């Protein structure tokens, strides 16, 4: 019988740096998604308040792996969940309800995964 032994030493400072890089990449991914949606001109727009001042990234829980894009206007939910509305397309020619849908299950659904991977590589210094 052959005896085998091994010893593992974890470099906790490197592991913490990787965790920090993941949090940073997550926050930046949410910001990139918000920017992407604004540039796609899919949010209904009248004065610009919904897509600019009233929609923001909430990073308060990012250390737990959760970020949110919040639209704080009272009418945001109604506009989002009613794609049957006839949206004015003068300001945003692609205005629609469910404006995050292309990034959730449509043609842009890999945007966040690819963006996070790229930002994580940069933040972790593996690029």
- Assigned domain for 103 exists: yes
- The 3-class SS string of the chain reads CCCCCCCCCCCHHHHHHHHHHHHHHHHHHHHHHHHHHHHHCCCCCCCCCCCCCCEEEECCCHHHCCCEEEECCCCHHHHHCCCCCCCCCCCCCCCCCCCCHHHHCCCCCCHHHHHHHHHHHHHHCCC
pLDDT string in tens for the chain (127-residue length): 789 999 999 999 999 999 999 999 999 999 999 999 999 999 998 888 898 899 999 999 999 999 999 999 989 999 999 989 999 999 999 999 999 999 999 889 999 999 999 999 999 987 6
- Assigned domain for 91 exists: yes
- Assigned domain for 7 exists: no
Instruction: Output the pLDDT for position 127.
Output: 63
- Assigned domain for 97 exists: yes
Domain count, the chain: 1
- Assigned domain for 15 exists: no
- Assigned domain for 6 exists: no
Domain of residue 94, residue span? 32-124
């Amino acid at each position: 019988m052959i005896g085998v032994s091994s010893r593992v030493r974890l470099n906790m400072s490197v592991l913490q740096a990787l965790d920090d890089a993941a949090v940073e990449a997550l926050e930046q991914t949410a910001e990139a998604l918000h920017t992407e949606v604004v540039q796609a001109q899919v949010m209904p727009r009248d004065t610009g308040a919904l897509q600019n001042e009233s929609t923001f990234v909430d990073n308060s829980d990012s250390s737990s792996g959760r970020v949110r894009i919040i639209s704080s206007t009272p009418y945001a939910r109604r506009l989002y969940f009613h794609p049957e509305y006839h949206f004015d397309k003068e300001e945003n020619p692609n205005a629609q309800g469910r404006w995050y849908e292309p990034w959730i299950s449509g043609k842009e659904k890999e945007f966040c995964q690819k963006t996070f991977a790229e930002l994580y590589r940069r933040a972790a210094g593996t690029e």
